Amino acid sequence: MATMQDVARRAQVSVSTVSYVLTGARPISQATRDKVLAAMAELDYQPNALARGLASRRSRILGLLLPMDERGIGATETAFVTGATSAAVAAGYHLVLSPIGVGDLDELRRLASQRILDGALLMEVQLHDPRVDVLREAGVPTVLIGRTEDPSGLSYVDIDFDRTVRAAVDHLVGLGHRRIVYVNHSADTIAEGYGPALRTRDSFTAAMTEHGLTPLMIPAEDSAASGRAALASALRQEPDLTAVLAMNESAVFGLLGELSTRGLTVPDDVSVVSMVTSPQVAELATPALTAMTSPGSALGRIAVQTLLRHVESGDGEIHQELLPCVLEVRGSSGPPRTPAASTTDPEAADERSSPGTEAARRRAATRRRA
Amino acid sequence: MATMQDVARRAQVSVSTVSYVLTGARPISQATRDKVLAAMAELDYQPNALARGLASRRSRILGLLLPMDERGIGATETAFVTGATSAAVAAGYHLVLSPIGVGDLDELRRLASQRILDGALLMEVQLHDPRVDVLREAGVPTVLIGRTEDPSGLSYVDIDFDRTVRAAVDHLVGLGHRRIVYVNHSADTIAEGYGPALRTRDSFTAAMTEHGLTPLMIPAEDSAASGRAALASALRQEPDLTAVLAMNESAVFGLLGELSTRGLTVPDDVSVVSMVTSPQVAELATPALTAMTSPGSALGRIAVQTLLRHVESGDGEIHQELLPCVLEVRGSSGPPRTPAASTTDPEAADERSSPGTEAARRRAATRRRA
DNA sequence: CCGCTTAGTCGAAGCGCTTCGACAACGCCG
DNA sequence: CGGCGTTGTCGAAGCGCTTCGACTAAGCGG
Q: What angle do CA A337, A280, A175 make, to 5 degrees?
A: 20
For chain A, what is the largest distance between any 2 Cα atoms, rounded to a whole number of angstroms? Answer: 90
For residue B149, which amino acid is it?
Answer: E
B85 touches A: beta carbon within 8 Å: yes
Contact A72 B78 (CB under 8 A): yes
pLDDT of residue B296: 87
Lowest mean pLDDT among A148-162, B32-46, B66-80, B306-320: B66-80
Contact A288 B224 (CB under 8 A): yes
pLDDT of residue A338: 66
DSSP codes joined into one string, A124-181: S--TT-HHHHHHHHHT--EEEES--SS-TT-EEEEE-HHHHHHHHHHHHHHHT---EE
For residue A271, which amino acid is it?
Answer: S
* Mutation for A interface: B96, B108, B111, most A CBs within 10 A: B96
Q: What angle do CA A82, A97, A121 make, to 5 degrees?
A: 80
Determine if strand C comes within 7 Å of the CB of A11.
no
A111 touches B: beta carbon within 8 Å: yes
Mean pLDDT of A79-101: 91
3-class secondary structure, B181: strand
Q: By the 8 A CB rule, do A40 and A29 touch? A: no
Contact A68 B75 (CB under 8 A): no
Q: Is the pLDDT assigned to residue B325 strictly greater than 90?
A: yes
Cα separation of A279 and B71, whole Å? Answer: 9
Mean pLDDT of A269-287: 87
pLDDT of residue B177: 94
Confidence grade of residue A191 (pLDDT, cut at 50, 70, 90):
confident
Interface of B with A in 31-50 (CB under 8 A): 46-50
Contact B89 A107 (CB under 8 A): yes
Cα separation of B71 and A296, whole Å? Answer: 13
Closest CA to B101 of B124, B132, B72, B121: B124
Q: Is the pLDDT assigned to residue B293 strictly greater than 70?
A: yes
Q: Which residue is nearest to nucleotide C8 (CA to C1')?
A: A28
pLDDT of residue A323: 95
Nucleotides of D under 7 A from a protein CB: 7-12, 14-21
Mean pLDDT of B307-315: 86
Q: How is domain B161-293+327-367 classified at the architecture level of CATH?
A: 3-Layer(aba) Sandwich (3.40)
For residue B78, give how far its alpha carbon lies from the nearest alpha carbon of chain A (Å): 5
Answer yes or no: same fold for B61-159+296-324 and B161-293+327-367: yes
Q: By the 8 A CB rule, do A320 and A156 touch? A: yes
Q: What integer best gives the mean pLDDT of chain B?
A: 86
Q: Is the pLDDT assigned to residue B106 strictly greater than 70?
A: yes
pLDDT of residue B357: 41
3-class secondary structure, A321: strand
- Output the CA torsion sign for B253, B258, B263, B265: negative
Lowest mean pLDDT among A197-206, B239-248, B361-370: B361-370
Q: What share of chain B is helix, strand, coil (3-state, %, to 5)?
A: 45, 15, 40
CA-to-CA dists, residue B280 to A70, A231, B290, angstroms: 8, 19, 12
Confidence grade of residue B338 (pLDDT, cut at 50, 70, 90):
low
Confidence grade of residue B74 (pLDDT, cut at 50, 70, 90):
confident
Q: Who wins on pLDDT, A17 or A367?
A: A17
Contact B48 A262 (CB under 8 A): no
Measured between CB atoms, which of A115, A253, A285 is closest to B50? A115
CATH 3.40.50.2300 fits A61-159+296-324, yes or no: yes
Looking across all nucleic acid strands, the nucleotide with the smallest C1' to CA distance from residue A2 is D16
What is the separation of C-alpha B10 from the centre of its chain, rounded to a whole number of angstroms?
Answer: 49
Q: By the 8 A CB rule, do A153 and A317 touch? A: no
Write down the domain spans for chain B: 4-47, 61-159+296-324, 161-293+327-367
Determine if strand C comes within 7 Å of the CB of A20.
yes
- CA of B27 vs C1' of D1, distance in Å? 29
Beta bridge partners, A290, equal A273
pLDDT tens readout for residues A171-188: 999 999 999 999 999 888
Cα separation of A345 and A285, whole Å? Answer: 25
Cα separation of A124 and A77, whole Å? Answer: 10
Lowest mean pLDDT among A211-220, B138-147, B267-276, B353-362: B353-362
Mean pLDDT of B25-32: 91
Confidence grade of residue B354 (pLDDT, cut at 50, 70, 90):
very low
pLDDT tens readout for residues A316-364: 789 999 999 999 999 899 998 865 444 444 444 343 444 334 444 443 3
Q: Who wins on pLDDT, B309 or B278?
A: B309
Q: Highest mean pLDDT range out of A300-314, B66-80, B310-324, B341-355?
A: A300-314
H helix or E strand, kind and range, residue A326: strand A326-328
B56 touches A: beta carbon within 8 Å: no
3-class secondary structure, A241: coil
Cα separation of B306 and B91, whole Å? Answer: 12
- Output the CA torsion sign for A219, A174, A160, A64: positive
Radius of gyration of chain B (CA): 26
Cα separation of B301 and B291, whole Å? Answer: 23
Helix residue spans in chain B (DSSP H): 4-11, 15-23, 30-43, 49-56, 75-90, 105-113, 130-138, 161-175, 187-191, 195-210, 224-237, 249-261, 279-282, 296-312, 346-351, 358-367
Determine if strand D comes within 7 Å of the CB of B17.
yes
Q: How many CB pairs under 8 A join A and B?
A: 172
pLDDT of residue B279: 86
Determine if strand D comes within 7 Å of the CB of A370.
no
* Mutation for A interface: B43, B70, B223, B266, most A CBs within 10 A: B70
H helix or E strand, kind and range, residue A280: helix A279-282
Cα separation of A222 and A183, whole Å? Answer: 11
B4-47, CATH topology level = 434 Repressor (Amino-terminal Domain) (1.10.260)
> What percent of chain B has pLDDT above 70?
90
Cα separation of B225 and A75, whole Å? Answer: 18
Residues of B (12-41) placing their beta carbon closer than 7 angstroms to any atom of strand C are 15-16, 18-20, 22-23, 25
pLDDT tens readout for residues A111-166: 999 999 999 999 988 888 899 999 998 999 999 999 998 888 899 999 999 999 99
Cα separation of A96 and A65, whole Å? Answer: 9
Chain B residues whose beta carbon lies within 8 Å of the beta carbon of residue A223 = 280, 283
Give, as one character, the DSSP assignment of residue B316: -
3-class secondary structure, A226: helix
